[in-house]
């Protein structure tokens, strides 16, 4: 099995980016077969556990408070609501459940404790758990990393889209988002 690379040159990236779609699909299928059963994919479900009102000025995102969008706005849902959705997802065949919250920085206090309870509950259902919560403090990352039984949070994603767009309006530099999110995981570690 080949280790993931983190030393791609611009010409290498451009050659992948400009490759014909069917060639990319073939390459993806070959990599998939190296690591997984050839005819299986993982079923994942994403639940928006808090919608709208994010203070970030990201023009592409309907969660931003800076733009009028059709996205509904609601506070962080209760743990039992999130776990009911996770049970439905599991019953429909999903093995991973991701929870997203429209925050610039993950909330502290009772709201973060509620997210931890959601992660624990999803893991107790026998599912992988992942989150997209905005930026995490070191303390929050440590708590998420040790929050679940029998295993911690699988992955955390913090909407670092600056590298994907030529210009994303934001009140800070991209470097403020580049620290590893979960202690013990090197930067760029993909979810397994």
Q: Is residue 185 part of a domain?
A: no
Q: Is residue 165 part of a domain?
A: yes
Domain match, 52 and 30 both:
no
The per-residue pLDDT of the chain, averaged, comes to 76
- Confidence band (pLDDT; 50, 70, 90) for 170? very low
Domain residues for the domain of 172 are 43-177
Task: Please report how many Cα atoms fall inside a 13 Å half-sphere around the Cα of residue 135, on the Cβ side.
Answer: 14
Q: Is residue 192 part of a domain?
A: no
- The answer to whether 141 and 187 have CB atoms below 8 angstroms apart is no
The residue behind tokens 């509904």 is 72
Which CATH number is 101's domain given?
Answer: 3.20.20.70
pTM of the model: 0.65
- Confidence band (pLDDT; 50, 70, 90) for 141? confident
Segment 27-33 shows an average pLDDT of 89
* Number of domain units in the chain: 2
CA 160 remoteness from chain centre:
10
């Amino acid at each position: 099995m080949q280790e993931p690379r983190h030393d791609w040159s611009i010409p290498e990236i451009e050659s992948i980016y400009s490759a014909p779609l069917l060639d990319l699909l073939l390459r993806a299928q070959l990599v998939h077969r190296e690591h997984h059963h050839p005819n299986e994919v993982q079923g994942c479900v994403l639940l928006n556990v808090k919608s709208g009102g994010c203070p970030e000025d990201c023009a592409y995102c309907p969660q931003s408070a800076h733009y009028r969008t059709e996205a509904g706005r609601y506070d962080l849902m209760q743990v039992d609501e999130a776990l009911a959705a996770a049970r439905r997802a599991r019953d429909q065949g999903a093995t991973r459940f991701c929870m997203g919250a429209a925050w610039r920085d993950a909330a502290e206090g009772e709201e973060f404790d509620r997210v931890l309870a959601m992660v624990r509950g999803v893991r107790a259902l026998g599912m992988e758990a992942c989150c997209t919560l905005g930026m995490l403090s070191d303390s929050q990352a440590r708590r998420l990393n040790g929050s679940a039984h029998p295993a911690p949070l699988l992955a955390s994603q913090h909407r670092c889209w600056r590298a994907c767009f030529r210009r994303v309006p934001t009140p800070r530099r991209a470097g403020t988002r580049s620290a590893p999110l979960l202690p013990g995981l090197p930067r760029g570690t993909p979810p397994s």
